[in-house]
Amino acid sequence: MSINLVTLLYLLASVCFIQALKGLSNPRSARAGNAFGIAGMIVAVCTTMSLIFKQAQDLGSDLQTGFSLLLAALVVGGTIGAILARRVEMTKMPELVAAMHSLIGLAAVCIAYAVVSEPQAFGLASESMPKGFLPFGNRIELVIGTFVGAITFSGSVIAFGKLSGKYKFRLFQGAPVVYPGQHLTNLILALVMLGFGAMFYLTQEWTSFLIMTAIAFVLGVLIIIPIGGADMPVVVSMLNSYSGWAAAGIGFSLNNAMLIIAGSLVGSSGAILSYIMCKAMNRSFISVILGGFGAEAGSAADGGSKEQRPVKSGSADDATFMLSNAESVVIVPGYGLAVARAQHALKELTDKLVEQGVQVRYAIHPVAGRMPGHMNVLLAEAEVPYDLVYEMDDINNEFGSTDIVLVLGANDVVNPAAKTDPKSPIAGMPIIEAYKARTVIVNKRSMASGYAGLENELFHMDKTMMVFGDAKKVIEDMVKSVSGSVH
């Protein structure tokens, strides 16, 4: 395969990746975006494998054996990925994404170590230089790609544990892990890590490279453990960006234009998405990295032993009667809906209400769920029409004229304290303004606080009725009740 053809195919794959990002920016074009992404990756992988096969044929049997092992690894890895993708539940999608980010970071570290160990195998060693000598420009690229990849790996492992919520080890629990001098410790470690990276740049010594990598692994853990559950969507997006930059850095060392372009696209899009997430929470990116809701969440959560304030509660039948007699309804889905796997039942309820002439719309907060776009994907899986789904900024002005808001498993994103309490940890955070509607129905399992660990004033308003129970069962009961009223 000629170099010109390889370059042309990599360019084609890059165009597909750009079109994929463009398509994924909107639910209506997301399927086309996925198709472009898959096509681009197939072109990139096939081109790379063809190039490696040609080189193996030219250079001998040992490389042909290596190519066979690489092909076998590709088949095994692809099979495992396909099985996981088919079996993963919607509620497990965030931690699956975090796990994939960790693998990208680890791959970047492994490639960097292979390059440092055998630079001549990657065409980086010149015959006029000592054996194993790395050009200074490549050393910089390897240092950056290695420590970013290591931080991505260990940080993503911690994020996976926090998102999973099934591990008892303290570092994997959703509550922030804080200790005195935490930020100073992280700063010192970062400076020491960069110092050993500079030492490797000057000397190309393995010891400094190993120490730099080890500190980066530790730093990835320490950066993520003080971040509470409320900030997890931003963390997922941030780690996505890190994985992209790690891939781009290694792409420079391998002189692989495809890896540079793909990594840069992932890195820049992840950074932009992180900014959008932070803006939606009225937070700065630095405040998230420095621990987010850490201290406040812990103190607020401790308030669980306080006397519970009274709330108005009702049954699924009560909620159905109110919804059936409303003219306009806005549904606010949250992570509780995903946990209950109630999206299909909700779609059926929506259809029943629309048949009765009720205007039904969905309001999505940018950080609802545990990863960016979680609620959009959840509703798309249930085939909820895209024209019924509105972003927060597009629907907030409508709540004043809305009869009923049905909140399903959401908490912090509808908490009026963000608007009314300047001392609240979420003060200034843009919220879905459900409290402006004439009536609010909230479905939750209990009165437990959300990720931010704060009491929600919305639940105690006179206009609010709480319906306690599993979201799927409650919604299914509402569907039966609506069907019965029709007949």
Residues with a known catalytic role = 412
Q: What distance in Å separates the CA atoms of residue 350 and residue 438, rounded to the nearest whole number?
A: 20
Cα–Cα distance, 343 to 384 (Å, whole number): 9
End-to-end CA, the chain: 69
CA distances to 32, 176, 246, 287 from 451, in Å: 34, 11, 30, 17
Distance CA 271, CA 330 (A): 31
Q: How far apart are CA 56 and CA 204, in angstroms?
A: 29
* Amino acid letter, 470: D
Q: Where are the beta strands (DSSP E) in 369-438?
A: 389-391, 404-408
Q: Give the C-alpha separation, 161 to 71, whole Å.
A: 31
User: C-alpha distances in angstroms, 441 versus 221, 316, 467?
Assistant: 40, 10, 7
The H or E element containing residue 4 is helix 3-24
Query: How far is the C-alpha of 408 from the C-alpha of 368, rounded, in Å?
Result: 11
The helix (run of H) or strand (run of E) holding residue 419 is helix 417-420
- Find the length of the chain: 487
DSSP letters for 35-71: HHHHHHHHHHHHHHHHHHHHHHHHH-HHHHHHHHHHH
* Rounded-to-integer distance, Cα 344 and Cα 308, Å: 33
Query: What sign for the dihedral angle of Cα 365, 367, 372, 374?
Result: negative
What would the DSSP string read from start to end of 177-223?
---TTHHHHHHHHHHHHHHHHHHHHHH--HHHHHHHHHHHHHHHHHH
* Contact yes or no for 91/341 (Cβ under 8 A): yes
Distance CA 307, CA 303 (A): 9
Query: 283: closest CA among 291, 271, 295, 292?
Result: 292
C-alpha–C-alpha distance, residues 358 and 313, integer Å: 23
**Both tokens of residue 9?**
């195919």
